[in-house]
Amino acid sequence: MHEAYRFWSTRFNARVSDWIGDRACLLRIDPVHHKLAVFQGARPGLCHMNFQVASIDDVFRNWHFLVDHHVRIEMGPGRHPQSTAIFLYFLGPEGFTYEYSFGVRRIEDDAAWVPRTFDPDEIGSIDMWLGPVQRASSQPQLQPDRAGGPAS
């Protein structure tokens, strides 16, 4: 995780917004609290993809839609204390985790922002509404097939 932070900060000028212990680094490339989160993992992979929606109504309307269609909700609705985003994580049909979020904090004054560290084992450090917390695990990167092309 620290190596990934060095890569993104030196090559792309990403700035740390917050740390979640030694498990995650939340990075920004513009005023949005984080556009990239690097998590500690056993191997390279992608943990989840976030869609920032236009309103809180979009989060809850989609929550009802997902529940009505028997889609597995992994976490939420809840609120992240780091970004203040209202979130909803769910499992897509291919087994990948997606997130809808609304209300992400903006950091307009880089000089005044001091990155914080959140203890991931502390109650409320992932969901300040104190809902059940189940983090999606990283999925391995696609491996090339035996012919050398991308896996199908």
- In the chain, domain spans: 2-119+126-139
pLDDT mean over 113-139: 88
Mean pLDDT of the chain: 90
pLDDT at 152 over 50: no
Sign of CA dihedral 27, 30, 31, 36: negative
Question: Residue 130 — φ and ψ, nearest 5°?
Answer: 65, 30
CATH T-level assignment (fold) for domain 2-119+126-139 = 2,3-Dihydroxybiphenyl 1,2-Dioxygenase; domain 1 (3.10.180)
Q: Could you tell me which residues are beta bridge partners of residue 13?
A: none
State how far the alpha carbon of 137 is from the alpha carbons of 6, 43, 151, in Å: 23, 11, 21
Instruction: Enter the pTM of the model.
Output: 0.86
Radius of gyration of the chain (CA): 16
